[in-house]
Amino acid sequence: MPRKTLHRLLPNINEVLKRSKVKWLKSLARDPNLLQINRHSVSIAVFIGIFTAFIPIPGQTIVVFAMSFWIRANLPIAVAIVWLSNPVTIPPIFYLTYQLGSFLTGAEPIDFRITTSWEWFFTVGVKILVPLMIGGTIIGLICGTLGYFFVLRFWRFKVIKNWQRRSIQRRTTKKNNTTTN
């Protein structure tokens, strides 16, 4: 897959670990899947990042850290992908997940305006939390699974294409060497 591309985009782990502020990460670097770029760790990281991005919980990055350690996925990629849910994308994501959750639970969707107060949270927020969590979990599982299989397929496609390209280069080089002799 785009291992070379990812290596170009991501910083060199050895250079990062030399910095004094992140020396505590040295123990993490010993686990090959947390920072290594391979098909398995990247595809799992994509699943974790997308799944967590759709779950309406605070501290999504911390959840991604924990899941990446537990499942042994590529940590930087999972963290980068969870940031798909940001202040710009959260309203449409939560609207979609709330609508799906309301449909699945049989609850009538509530027309509401969000206000940042504890009173609003305990009166309206509690009513929308269950459909939001159910919808977010289902959409997260579906999109995460699609992302996982997309990475596996794309990675395989790129490996095959690179193998074919190298095979053609070897044949032409061999042919050129035999014609010059």
pLDDT (tens digit per residue) in 71-80: 989 999 999 9
In this prediction, residues 39-44 reach a mean pLDDT of 93
pLDDT over 90 (residue 169): no
Where do the DSSP E strands lie in the chain?
none
Q: What is the pLDDT of residue 127?
A: 80
Q: Tally Cβ neighbours within 10 Å of residue 170.
A: 10
What average pLDDT does the structure give for the chain? 84
Quick one: pLDDT at residue 27? 65
> Greater confidence, 128 or 12?
128
What distance in Å separates the CA atoms of residue 5 and residue 16, rounded to the nearest whole number? 18
Q: What is the pLDDT of residues 104-149, one digit of tens each?
A: 999 888 776 766 777 777 777 778 889 999 999 999 999 999 999 9
User: Is the pLDDT assigned to residue 25 strictly greater than 70?
Assistant: no
Looking at per-residue pLDDT, the higher value among 55 and 22 belongs to 55
Domain count, the chain: 1
Burial track 1-26 (b if 16+ CB lie within 10 A, e otherwise)? bebeeeeeeeeebeeeeeeeeeeeee
Its pTM stands at 0.77
Lowest mean pLDDT among 32-41, 58-67, 94-103, 128-137: 32-41
Q: Name the DSSP letter for residue 83.
A: T
**Which carries the bigger pLDDT value, residue 1 or residue 177?**
177
Range of the domain at 22: 3-180
pLDDT for position 2: 64
Name the pLDDT band for 87 (thresholds 50, 70, 90).
confident
More confident residue, 112 or 159: 159
CA 29, 154, 71, 101 dihedral sign is positive
| Cα–Cα distance, 51 to 139 (Å, whole number) | 8
